[in-house]
Amino acid sequence: MPFQYTEAIGSRYLRHVPQSLQITSNENWELFVIRMLTGTCDIKHTTTGNSITQRKNLTTATEISHTNITSKTLRDSLRPLTFNECEKYLRDFSRPNSGLFRNVSCELAYYFHYSQEHTHLPAFLHIYRILEYISYSFPLVHASNSSNFQGTFTMLKGFFRGDGGELKFFNKFVNKLFDGDPILNATADINLVGLDPILAARFTSCYSEKLDGMITVDTQTNEASIKYSEIINAIVTIRNKYFHFAIGGQKNIDTYQIKEPNEFFRILNPIFINWIGIIYFEILRSIASS
């Protein structure tokens, strides 16, 4: 196993957490994903022996960092779900999807590992691999737990209409999942503060030229932001234009233009992984509370 997952909640508080939600008594891959995304477990890379500290709650658009991990930390991170609802969900739904979450947990742990090592380009690749794993499976898991079979069939048929593969399918699903939720039109700020001004200008130039319509740039202030509804498109476009570029035709993202790819991905990766965490928890809460 590439990673070991251990309990971050101290024994004083752990007695207030149901056993099935404790890492110490479980080898439940989806639980590992939940606890990593809520920033409430410790991770160890078995090859290097390095410990990985992840203390951010990535299930909400509001940035929350934990300093002291208690049972309340986990309870608050799962809200509006209760411990009982989460227990029931893991008992009823987690086992059939064990293979999926084994892979997702590994990719997620590698993302945190490379981020802590300040190697943000490979960290992005693991974000993309998570996206590949979940693009069909998450919509199907969500649909399979609906009691409205006719409505579910119509919804899935709509996702398959038109051009595009699994990632466009997933994007349609996300838009449906958050239909009516203001978060789709909300924006995440791309933090260029403290960056060398010349490098910041290179990045905003790239955003304008290669990610136009996805990332909004204020050329006067060199500030940038991205709508949550465009994040999946941005991940796929960056992958295609930087890692899978073609000679001629499309506008590739060139290393010469961005100069420092590690910094380029350092700035964007936290927004991307946060959105994936928000999507997963919206599905989790939808199924567990039904």
Residue 242: inside a domain, yes or no?
A: yes
Which of 117, 134, 164 corresponds to the end of one domain? 117
- Residue 105: phi and psi, rounded to 5, are -65, -40
Provide the residue-wise pLDDT of the chain in tens; the chain has 290 residues: 899 999 999 999 999 999 999 997 678 999 999 999 999 999 999 999 999 999 999 999 998 999 999 999 999 999 999 999 999 999 888 777 889 999 999 999 999 999 999 999 999 999 999 999 998 888 887 777 654 444 444 555 555 555 556 777 888 889 889 999 999 999 999 999 899 999 999 999 999 999 988 999 987 888 999 999 999 999 999 999 999 866 555 689 999 999 999 999 999 999 999 999 999 999 999 888 87
The pLDDT value given to residue 155: 55
Task: Please check whether residues 158 and 271 belong to one and the same domain.
Answer: yes
Q: Which pLDDT score, from 0 to 100, does residue 57 have?
A: 97
Q: Is the pTM of this model over 0.75?
A: yes
In a domain, 143, yes or no: no
62 plus 154 within the same structural domain: no
Structural domain contains residue 287 = no
Does residue 122 form part of some domain?
A: no
* CA distances, 260 to each of 38, 52, 124, 149, 229 (Å): 30, 25, 14, 50, 27
125 lies in a domain? Answer: no
Say if 138 falls within a structural domain. no
Whether residues 158 and 267 fall in one domain: yes
Decide if 253 is inside a domain.
Answer: yes
CA 116/CA 128 separation, integer angstroms: 18
Domain that holds residue 30: 3-117
Using DSSP's 3-state secondary structure scheme, residue 116 falls into helix
Q: What is the domain count for the chain?
A: 2
